[in-house]
Amino acid sequence: MPLGSAGDVHPFVGLALELKRRGHTVTLATNGYFAGLAAKFRLEFIEVGDSSAFYQGINNPDLWHPFRSFPYLYRKMIEPTVRPQYEIIASEIAKRPTTVLCNCFGFGALNAQDKLDANVVSVHLQPIMLWSRIQPPRMPGLFGPKWLQHHMYKMAQRLVIDPVVLPSLNSFRRELGIPPVKHVMDWWHSKKLLLCLFPEWFCKAQPDWPGPNAQVDFPLWDERENGQGTFSPDLSETLDPFLNQGSPPIAFTPGSANIFGNDFFDIAVRACEKLKRRAIFLTRFPEQLPAKLPGSVLHIPFAPLSFLLPRCSALVHHGGIGSAAQAMAAGVPQLIRPQAHDQFDNAMRIVEQGIGDFLKPRNFTVNALASKLKKLIESDKVGEQCKLVAKRIVLSRGVIQAVDLLEGFM
């Protein structure tokens, strides 16, 4: 029961397919935008909000603002799902023993845990979801020593997050006859199991993380099954010749749900021309692209990154954990333009690994982008570190480890 963009949903589909392969009955319950994805991989599907709600939700730049993003995300995309999630779970557990996998925005699932003792697992894809005063994740607006960051985090929770969420959340809980939530970010973890889909070498577990928790490797599922891409034959006929006809291109994506990437792609074209480098632009929303792309740039709506990135020289992206992990697995350097959500923390971890860099949006200019990319691509030190990190990652291992844990939990 994931909520979010393709980067949020893909790992859950990977888990679902492995659970199904092992003989479990599996249902994907999420926005109708992903019904086609479920059908493609023959998963049972329950719609939680129709696709028009998804498009309406992503059609506002506040979704990508470091401070306005969460209030907007809650009101437009999370709050409308709370009751439907709860009702779906109540119906399922009345029929048979059921385990629910949700991310931190599965508020309906967490209410079902509190009211119905539903078997709920919180699946955390990114380290930022787990606050630690010992080793705080990097969040916009936090600075200074760790004790100060902790107080700022708690203040933000009480003054920003709680006032947005608690009125409607606790109204629903009163209806259910369960006690109110006091602080959202202390509550949005399952009391039964937190499954962290990122390895310890990327983010070491901290003693003050909520628990019980377990870490596994990155899931890395990206619509590619058995080594085969699921994109159309027509796209393969376009992509393969482009990849084969010259030097490895630079891949660019502003995020699968980002429709405000006009400046991102415009700057990317000019930076690649400055570097005399080829490029591949990935977006399902081509209205963001310049009116005419040079012959050295190919636009495709989608390709599994596990197929594409090993044939590229670098990835420039928004900092989503799924894209970052795929670049690590492919052994290519990455440059991140973080805007909101977990992207700043992920970007800093990539820098710490010595495999990439980042540019804040205000610094994302043609000259800065070209300069950073040139250094990353031509650096022997970065290249060697990318190879070392790639050796730590096995594409299917995270999903298998996670399902092993889940079977023990169930």
Contacts for 235-238 with beta carbons within 8 Å, 24 or more apart? 235/300, 235/301, 235/302, 235/303, 238/298, 238/300
CB-based contact 42:241 (threshold 8 Å): no
> Could you tell me which residues come within 8 angstroms of residue 151 by beta carbon, excluding any fewer than 6 positions away?
none
Alpha-carbon span 54 to 32, nearest angstrom: 8
Domain-by-domain residue ranges, the chain? 6-220+396-409, 224-391
Helix (H, G, I), strand (E, B) or coil at 250: strand
Alpha-carbon span 266 to 246, nearest angstrom: 22
| Residue 274: CB atoms within 10 Å | 15
| Amino acid in position 268 | A
Give the angle subtended at the CA of 69 by the CAs of 63 and 70, to the nearest 5°.
130
Alpha-carbon span 119 to 132, nearest angstrom: 26
Task: List the CATH code of the domain at 6-220+396-409.
Answer: 3.40.50.2000
pLDDT tens-digit readout, 190-229: 999 999 999 999 999 999 999 899 999 999 999 886 544 4
Closest-CA residue to 107 (of 171, 160, 61): 171
CB-based contact 329:306 (threshold 8 Å): yes
| Residue 378: CB atoms within 10 Å | 11
pLDDT tens-digit readout, 241-271: 999 999 999 999 999 999 999 999 999 999 9
CB-based contact 75:164 (threshold 8 Å): yes
Tokens 């009702």 belong to 87
CB-based contact 62:68 (threshold 8 Å): yes
Give the angle subtended at the CA of 256 by the CAs of 252 and 262, to the nearest 5°.
55
Q: Which fold has domain 224-391?
A: Rossmann fold (3.40.50)
User: What's the pLDDT score for residue 227?
Assistant: 46
> Could you tell me which residues come within 8 angstroms of residue 190 by beta carbon, excluding any fewer than 6 positions away?
102, 110, 113, 120, 121, 122
Question: 302 pLDDT exceeds 80?
Answer: yes
Instruction: Give phi and psi for 358, each to the nearest 5.
Output: -145, 160
User: What's the pLDDT score for residue 395?
Assistant: 67
Question: 230 pLDDT exceeds 60?
Answer: no
Same CATH topology for 6-220+396-409 and 224-391: the answer is yes
Question: 410 pLDDT exceeds 90?
Answer: no
> Could you tell me which residues come within 8 angstroms of residue 215 by beta carbon, excluding any fewer than 6 positions away?
196, 198, 199, 200, 205
- Claim: this prediction has a pTM higher than 0.95: no
pLDDT tens-digit readout, 40-74: 999 999 999 999 999 999 999 998 888 889 999 99
pLDDT tens-digit readout, 165-189: 999 999 999 999 999 999 999 999 9
User: What's the pLDDT score for residue 172?
Assistant: 98
